[in-house]
Chain A
Amino acid sequence: MTEQLIMTDVDLAEKFPQKVKLDERKGYEGYLVDADAFLDVAKHLRDELGYDYLSSITGVDYYPENYMESVYHFFRTTGGPALVLKVQIPRDNAVVPSLVSIYPGAEFQEREAWDLLGIRYEGHPDLRRILMWEGFAGHPLRKDWREPYYEEDGKPFKSRWPDGHVYRIEDKNPFHKNVDYPADFDPDQWVPDNDSSLYASLTKIQSSLSDSGLKTDTVIVNMGPQHPSTHGVFRMVVLLEGETIRALKPVMGYLHRNHEKIGERNTYLMNMPFTDRLDYLSSMSNNFGYALAVEKLMGIKPPERAEYLRVIMAEFTRISNHLFAIGSLLNDLGAYFTPMLYAIEERELILDVFEAVAGSRMMCNYFRFGGVARDLPEGVYEKIRDLAYERLPRRIDELDLYLTNNEIIRARCEGVGILTPEQAIAYSASGPLLRASGVPYDIRRADPYSVYDRFEFDVAVRYHGDVYDRYLVRMDEIRQSIRILQQAIRDLPEGPIQAGKPQYQVRVPPGEAYGRVEAPKGELGFYVVSNGKPNPWRYHVRAPSFINITALETMAKGNKVADSVAILGSIDIVLGELDR
């Protein structure tokens, strides 16, 4: 493997002289690529070097140096570490060629970087704002953009101590002033344009329709934002011909709070409890990814016992998440609450463990840099052991018997929402969605982190890429997680749970790091850039819910409108993470 990597290293800079050079800033990795050669380099990466999976796109605003950077993380689906490319552009003319034509999975991520950072991706088929609304002024993740409640660039705020005379933020902001509008925008005069640009992007393909003899009119249907099947405030705009979906555009951002801007105001440690609020059904995994990224920057490793505790918590999280996903998928299919409650019953027991260990059922905030917050309190080890060895295996078998061969479920799920392996990779799908399409890519195996290389487990994979296989993959994964749990519980070593002394103000040397974990919903990555100060300079979340949605249109096209609910349910999204 190492040999191979060295080969590609030589290859890239030599293959494109003058255009590609090594990123030699201290603490950085990868290559700097010229914007005009970028598409050629990307094609070469995909077709010659086998980096077929574009995991993450984001940008960084190096405001003091007056340039911006578009950052790309590529992986091979056969496994191995990342190849990082960066394109540097001036801040006032931030234009980068779009990768959508080579990696279709870039579509939403480029829209996000445009929306939040103002990097224009030339050649993007539909470069509209994605998280903010159309009337929004500016690009909030640029360093010179300030939020309406702006106080200081970084926490802790000086007003809190030693002279902390409390006030409510609402009191400080006279009415009307809590939103910033563009200069030429008057909210009283504004008439919503009926989402015309959105609908226009839908109807672009209208002319290419009509494969049946019967002429039908197309209709546009808005599903959501308030729709019970969207698991939150999420909207699907579908173009229907009869009952068949011809095109679909997801609309999101209703729950957007700019997690990343908050994260850049926070100190490193403060971000930990905020990550809980991303995918609030699996906060332990979120903690895990963030801790990995910052530990990489700091160059520290947690002690053995902490590593095992982390794995135990992450696998319990996976089980509880998948139980919830299966329960709500069945809900979406119309089975109402019986399967949901059967699944939730087991999840409650897992949450009891989290509550006893971390202090909270869902907002766990359990991981610290170089360890975990506390050791298992008395009696919890037994509880964990009983769950993993006794209760869960039995109950999963029961759930299996209850649902898997149910003819109605099979009839509704088999052959619906198909995603081929090629499409899944191209659209940067990850997690169960990718593995149900026959791509056995699991970061715990492909690029092991923590102590996952010590456990025996199989990467769950199914080959039809339909809704039913996504359900099956989740069932398989629950079983594999139980296997990992049993081994981790058996081998749990004694010892400290924290490397060094717990510190509230960690020193993070300058540099960048990308930490990623196989979260229950897919690849959860944290891209963190430090400039040596107490607050991260850049904090980006590669959210699996968000990126998995990119493939939604492909999956839904050609299916009946009623199936879009099942297809969405089978992706398993959480809006806290999708909208961030």
Chain B
Amino acid sequence: MDGFGILKGLGVTLRRFIGTYIDDIKWLGKRYFTEDGIRHRMSKDVSGIFTVQYPEEKIPVPEEFRFIPFLVYEEKEDGRIFHRCTSCGICAKVCPPQCIWIVRTTDPKTGRPVPEPAEFYIDVDICMNCGYCAEYCPFDAIKMDHDYELSVYDRHTHNIYNKEKLSKPLSYYASIRPTNYQREEAIRAEAEAAKAAKKVAAEN
């Protein structure tokens, strides 16, 4: 009990304290409010201040980051849009808190199901952001979003998202998850090609 332990510990805090200024000087004012600065503060080399001044600064989210699903729709050349979702119901079945509600469309003439949901709801108060719906959807029709700033004043009127509010274009998906998008498109193209080849083979 000679106090050397405390002194050594204080030495650590002092070194950190001085390190903060050294790091700031090294970056010449570019350490804050710049993209590089934020990335530096998230890297293994960071010393000194590592906090981020939210909301002025935001940490870039990685591609796999998941927050509240959205429905992907494709735009045709003539401006028509169509949803990839076939209302197969797998996402509703796999959703752990059961917050997906789907109304399947039926053809009024034949009474048979039509592959596009009449309505699609997600109660985002209940959604636990597990990502299962996106993971198990066989049609790449539902994906997890990156937008995490969803606070509203009244959850009772705002937080059941309907189909319209959930829909986002394919281009948006491609922009937030480029690697996944490219991989999936390659698989889709392959499947299409195989299907076409099969068709040709069947016709011959």
Contacts and interface: CB of A to CB of B under 8 A. Distances in A.
A528 to B, nearest CB: 16
Given A348-B50, A504-B90, A164 B6 contact: no
A269 B102 contact: no
Given A266-B96, A349-B44, A359-B64, A161 B104 contact: yes
Contacts of B8: 401-402, 405
Interface in B47-89: 50, 61-66, 87, 89
A59 B3 CA distance: 54
B128 A164 contact: no
A274 interface: yes
Given A355-B62, A407-B3, A390 B132 contact: no
A158 to B, nearest CB: 10
Given A377-B62, A402-B13, A407 B128 contact: no
Given A273-B132, A365-B130, A164 B9 contact: no
A384 to B, nearest CB: 10
Interface residues of A, number: 57
Contacts of A505: 93
Contact of B65 (A157, A162, A355, A373): A355
Contact of A345 (B4, B50, B103): B50
Contacts of A365: 130-131
B69 to A, nearest CB: 12
A342 B51 CA distance: 12
Nearest to A170: B156
Interface of B: 1-6, 8-9, 12-13, 16, 42, 44, 46, 50, 61-66, 87, 89-90, 92-96, 98, 100-104, 113, 119, 121, 123, 128-132, 135-136, 144, 156, 160, 179
A394 to B, nearest CB: 10
B64 A357 contact: yes
Contacts of A162: 87, 89, 102-104, 113
Interface string A143-168: 00000000000011101111111101
A349 B64 contact: no
Contacts of A391: 44
Nearest to B133: A504
Contacts of A156: 92-95, 98
Nearest to A389: B44
B111 to A, nearest CB: 13
Contacts of A160: 89, 92-93, 95, 98, 100-102
A3 interface: no
Nearest to A378: B179
A383 B113 CA distance: 49
Given A356-B62, A402-B13, A505-B93, 13 more contacts: A160-B98, A163-B103, A164-B92, A267-B94, A345-B46, A358-B64, A359-B65, A359-B131, A373-B135, A377-B63, A377-B179, A407-B3, A408-B6
A134 interface: no
A161 B92 CA distance: 7
Contact of A411 (B1, B4, B63, B98): B1
A453 interface: no
B173 to A, nearest CB: 15
Nearest to B63: A377
A157 B103 contact: no
A360 B98 CA distance: 20
Interface string A379-406: 0000100110011000000100111111
B101 to A, nearest CB: 3
Given A359-B131, A377-B63, A398-B12, A168 B123 contact: yes
Contacts of B5: 404-407, 410
Contacts of B123: 166, 168
A267 B130 CA distance: 14
B180 to A, nearest CB: 9
A357 B64 CA distance: 7
Nearest to A368: B135
Nearest to B11: A401
Interface string A263-296: 0001101111110000000000000000000000
Given A360-B65, A405-B8, A166 B94 contact: no
Nearest to B136: A504
**Which residue of A166, A273, A345, A502 has the most chain B CB atoms within 10 A of its CB atom?**
A166
Nearest to B162: A166
Nearest to B105: A162
The 9 A-B pairs at the shortest CB distance, nearest first, are namely A164-B101, A405-B5, A162-B104, A273-B130, A270-B96, A161-B89, A359-B66, A356-B62, A166-B121
B113 to A, nearest CB: 7
A363 interface: yes
A345 to B, nearest CB: 5
B131 A164 contact: no
A164 B102 contact: yes
27 contacts: A155-B98, A156-B94, A156-B98, A160-B95, A161-B87, A161-B89, A161-B100, A161-B101, A162-B87, A164-B100, A164-B119, A164-B121, A269-B132, A271-B96, A273-B132, A348-B50, A363-B128, A365-B131, A390-B44, A391-B44, A401-B8, A403-B9, A406-B9, A407-B5, A410-B1, A502-B136, A504-B94
B63 A363 contact: no
Contacts of A168: 123, 156, 160
A355 B64 contact: yes
Interface in A362-381: 363, 365, 373-374, 377-378
Most chain A Cβ neighbours within 10 Å, of B96, B156, B160: B96
Contact of B66 (A338, A360, A401): A360
A34 interface: no
A398 B8 CA distance: 10
Interface in A247-273: 266-267, 269-273
Nearest to B121: A166
Given A156-B92, A401-B12, A407 B136 contact: no
A279 B60 CA distance: 27
B40 to A, nearest CB: 12
A365 B66 CA distance: 11
A378 B156 CA distance: 40
A266 B172 CA distance: 33
Nearest to A345: B50
A407 B6 CA distance: 6
Contact of A165 (B4, B65, B101): B101
Contact of B128 (A273, A387, A405, A406): A273
A355 to B, nearest CB: 6
A387 B68 CA distance: 30
Nearest to B134: A359
Contact of B96 (A273, A373, A408): A273
Nearest to A390: B44
A269 B104 contact: no
A156 B160 CA distance: 19
Contacts of B94: 156, 267, 269-270, 504
Nearest to A358: B64
